Amino acid sequence: MRPSSYKAVVHEFAAAIRSGAIPAGTRLPTHRTLARERRIALATATRVYAELAALGLVVGEPGRGTFVRVRSGYDGLEPSRALPVPRVADLSFNQPLAPGQGDQLRQALRTMAASGDVEALLRQHPPGGHRHDRAVLATYLLERGIDTVPDNVLLTSGTQQALDMVLRTLTSPGEVLAVDALSYPGIKLLASTHSLDLAPIPVTAAGPDLDALDRMCRARPVRAIYTIPTMHNPLGWVLDREQRERLATLARSHNCLIIEDGTYAFLEPSPPPPLQALAPERTCYVAGLSKNVAPGLRFAFAVVPDRHLEAATSSLRAAAWGAPGVVTALATSWIIDGTVARLEKDRREDAAARQDIARAALAGLDITAHPVSYTVWLALQPHQRTDHAAAVLAEQGILVSTADAFATGPTVPRALRLALATPPRDVLGAALRSVRDTLDAIPP
Q: Is 350 in the site for ligand PLP (CB under 6 A)?
A: no
Pick from 92, 233, 328, 384: which binds ligand PLP (CB under 6 A)? Answer: 233
Contact predicate 417/191, CB 8 Å: no
Contact predicate 159/287, CB 8 Å: yes
Pick from 49, 140, 184, 266: which binds ligand PLP (CB under 6 A)? Answer: 184
Name the percent of the chain in helix, strand, coil, to the closest 5: 45, 15, 40
Element (H, E) at 392: helix 386-395
Pick from 230, 263, 332, 373: which binds ligand PLP (CB under 6 A)? Answer: 263
User: What SS3 state is found at 200?
Assistant: strand
Rounded least distance, CB 47 to ligand PLP, Å: 36
Nearer to ligand PLP, 134 or 232 (CB): 232
Pick from 261, 321, 343, 438: which binds ligand PLP (CB under 6 A)? Answer: 261
Rounded least distance, CB 163 to ligand PLP, Å: 7
Q: Decide: residue 19, CB within 10 A, 0-12 exposed, 13-18 middle, 19+ buried.
A: exposed
Residues 268-327 that bind ligand PLP (CB under 6 A): 288, 290, 295, 300
Rounded least distance, CB 425 to ligand PLP, Å: 20
Q: Site size for ligand PLP, by CB under 6 A?
A: 13
Sheet containing strand 300-303, strands side by side: 153-156, 300-303, 283-288, 257-261, 222-227, 176-180, 197-201
Residues 196-215 that bind ligand PLP (CB under 6 A): none
Contact predicate 344/321, CB 8 Å: no
Q: Is 434 in the site for ligand PLP (CB under 6 A)?
A: no
Q: Is 13 in the site for ligand PLP (CB under 6 A)?
A: no
**φ, ψ (nearest 5 deg) of residue 259:** -115, 110
Nearer to ligand PLP, 13 or 406 (CB): 406
Q: Is 260 in the site for ligand PLP (CB under 6 A)?
A: no
Nearer to ligand PLP, 158 or 274 (CB): 158
Q: Give the list of residues 6+ apart from residue 93 with CB closer than 8 angstroms, or none.
A: 75, 76, 77, 399, 401, 419, 422
**Beta strand 415-419 with 375-379: parallel, antiparallel or unpaired?**
antiparallel
| Closest to 115 measured CA to CA, from 289, 343, 332 | 332
**φ, ψ (nearest 5 deg) of residue 295:** -65, -25
Rounded least distance, CB 146 to ligand PLP, Å: 16
Q: Compose the 41-60 pattern: x for residues touching ligand PLP by CB under 6 A, - for all others.
A: --------------------
Nearer to ligand PLP, 160 or 355 (CB): 160
Q: Compose the 138-167 pattern: x for residues touching ligand PLP by CB under 6 A, - for all others.
A: --------------------xxx-------
Nearer to ligand PLP, 259 or 329 (CB): 259
Contact predicate 176/196, CB 8 Å: yes
Nearer to ligand PLP, 9 or 369 (CB): 369
Contact predicate 396/88, CB 8 Å: yes
Q: Is 401 in the site for ligand PLP (CB under 6 A)?
A: no
Nearer to ligand PLP, 208 or 288 (CB): 288
Rounded least distance, CB 354 to ligand PLP, Å: 16
Helices (H) and strands (E) in the chain, counts: 15, 16
Instruction: Return residues touching ligand PLP (CB under 6 A).
Output: 158-160, 184, 186, 228, 233, 261, 263, 288, 290, 295, 300
